[in-house]
């Protein structure tokens, strides 16, 4: 969508940007920057393992909002942060969505701030998987992705190509333009 000028679905929207543990986490920072430029309220929520790849300060700076990492490190608000974000969000997008986080969500686990926000949400949730091609093809991961779709969650990607590990195949984070287009469709369908 960077080549398109139509950013209306994002103006005055609240998007929770979930970031999990993947080398593709740096692309979530670019997505955060784009959304903010389009007038979106971006609320970053990172899993603790995402911190191995990218710092919360990156998202706090780009979003102009605190990045939530710890479920029990509550900012000052009248509701617990996972309830506040889960009910305030117009859309939750998980970029990148690791195999681990996909499995945890499929199992209904809410042991991270991001997992709890998703469980408390009443808005569309979009997952953009990113992982090694063999991991993506694993029967358990495929079953978890089908489970997410059965629950009503949405998926975009992954793409095919060279992966960070040097291998090639499916598992690459979908292009940001594809993610943005899918997000716009979900926001427009509200």
- Reported as a single tens digit per residue, the pLDDT across 20-51 is 999 899 999 999 999 999 999 999 999 999 99
Q: Could you give all domains of the chain from N- to C-terminal order, each with its CATH number?
A: 8-188 (3.40.50.1950)
Average pLDDT over residues 134-158: 95
Residues with catalytic function: 165
In this predicted structure, what is the pLDDT of residue 4?
Answer: 45
133-167 in b/e form (b: 16+ CB < 10 A) is bebbeeeebeebbebbeeeebbbbbbbeeebeeee
State how far the Cα of 27 lies from the Cα of 59, in Å rounded to an integer. Answer: 11
In this predicted structure, what is the pLDDT of residue 2?
Answer: 41
Q: How much is the pTM? A: 0.91
State the Cα angle at 124 between 112 and 158, rounded to 5°: 75
pLDDT in tens, 68-117: 998 776 555 666 777 778 888 999 999 999 999 999 999 999 999 999 99
């Amino acid at each position: 969508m960077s080549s398109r000028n139509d950013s209306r679905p994002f103006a005055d929207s609240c998007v929770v940007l979930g970031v999990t543990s993947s080398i593709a986490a740096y692309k979530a920072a670019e997505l955060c920057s784009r959304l903010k430029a389009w007038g979106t309220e971006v609320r970053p929520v990172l899993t603790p393992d995402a911190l191995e790849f990218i710092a919360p300060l990156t998202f706090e700076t780009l979003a102009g909002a605190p990045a939530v990492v710890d479920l029990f490190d509550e900012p000052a608000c009248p509701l617990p942060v996972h309830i506040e974000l889960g009910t305030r969000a117009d859309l939750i997008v998980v970029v990148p969505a690791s195999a681990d986080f996909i499995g945890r969500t499929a199992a209904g686990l809410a042991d991270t701030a991001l997992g709890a926000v998703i469980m408390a949400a009443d808005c569309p949730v979009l997952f953009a998987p990113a992982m090694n091609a063999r991991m993506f093809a694993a029967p358990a991961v495929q079953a978890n992705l089908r489970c997410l779709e059965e629950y009503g969650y949405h998926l975009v990607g992954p793409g095919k190509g060279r992966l960070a590990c040097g291998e090639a195949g499916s598992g690459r984070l979908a292009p940001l333009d594809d993610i943005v287009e899918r997000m716009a469709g979900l926001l427009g369908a509200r």
